[in-house]
Structure 1
């Protein structure tokens, strides 16, 4: 992969984030709870991209930004699954998961990968946990006695995007600091593919924010599919 193609892919991956941001601006009051939770991830990602590009332009190491981004992103994602999997896992499970990951991230910074190093240990662990939660959500859907309309369920699109993104990025996160100390053809190809995966994830974000959840009625009460 040429450096020019890589730069174009990363630019597109950053610019496409403006699409869900625009949708949020016009639809925020009409969003369901799960969509509003996703909006915080979108806003955080846009802010991180702006800061990262600014530091890169000034030739300043932007890796410290991603250390903090990883932790905050993980907590926001876990908060989404806390509601979506409330019938599967207890609140204590998600609280322990959050605290445990934050502690691991701090230990990783202090003893293994400092702020100027890509935090592959933390991102790999995050990927494994999110994949587990994503598969758990799909399993919970299969166990439902009454099936809902998935195409209008924001959580279905969010969960699908997370599963595709973290499954595809897992190897890249794990290998980054061991195989790619310098910019090589191989590193450009893998990070170029990562940019494509980012674009795909953003498309899932766009769909998740755009759909209008339908109200489903069961025997006992009415509830909104989130």
Structure 2
């Protein structure tokens, strides 16, 4: 157990490889392409960022700034293709464009690429939480009985809601934690983040595996 806790950050670095493995295994069509893009991008940036920190001993914050923008674009496109109502599709599209502009502006004028982009990460978490809740609301409004555990979209949405809800506090107050509290406290927060990160990619892997199976047909309640 102590070995796992001490090495959880390293485990989190390699956790995107799990959904990537299932992605390669199923070799499905272009369905859920935003999720597939997200997994590939996360793998490349996470592994390179870990390599920078461990072997090059260089600042890997620029990688995080890039990941933040690309990650949210993939997520917003995912919701745009998942929502059925036009106004929800429009909301996800506006959120994607608006956040991209905000994140770039934040990196240029407020929190440069060599510092932790807490403003952008915090806003990203808030927007993803809102989109995930809107998806659950729309699903309930359909008045259909569906076996959600067979739906890939359900697993992807659950992964987003769990991860961004759990890490919202850390994203917003990371810089304050680093400057105000001891290094041990800061490390504890990041170990919790690493655990949630592993769980996040595990849920994405389950969703990708579920792409192999068609969800059961819904039964209308109306």
Q: Would you say same fold, with TM above 0.5? A: yes
Task: Judge which range, 5-14 or 170-179, deviates more.
Answer: 5-14
Deviation track 1:198-226 (CA, whole Å, cap 9, x = no partner) reads 0110110111011122363789xxxxxxx
Who is 1:214 aligned against? 215
Whole-angstrom distance in 1 between the partners of 2:170 and 2:149: 30
Mapped to 1, the partners of 2:17 and 2:89 lie a distance apart of: 33
| Structure 1 residues without counterparts, runs of 5 or longer | 220-226
The equivalent residue for 2:160 is 162
* Bigger Cα displacement from structure 2, 4-13 vs 76-85: 4-13
Cα gap change, 1:162 to 1:66, in 2 (>3 Å): same
Residues 124 and 170 of structure 1 are in contact (CA less than 8 Å); yes or no, is this contact kept in structure 2?
Answer: yes
For structure 1, which segment, 89-98 or 118-127, has the greater mean C-alpha deviation from structure 2 after superposition? 89-98
Q: Is the 8 A contact 2:159 2:204 kept in 1?
A: yes
SS in 2 for 1:216: coil
Structure 1 equivalent of residue 75 of structure 2: 77
How much is the aligned-residue C-alpha RMSD, in angstroms?
Answer: 2.2
CA distance in 2: counterparts of 1:134 and 1:199, whole angstroms: 19
Q: Is the aligned partner of 1:53 residue 2:50?
A: yes
Aligned residues: 215
Change (3 A) 1:134 1:145: same
For the 8 Å contact 1:154–1:213, the answer to whether it is kept is no
Runs (5+) with no aligned partner, structure 2: none
Deviations 1:11-48 (A, max 9, x none): 1122332222111112122x5712x3312111111101
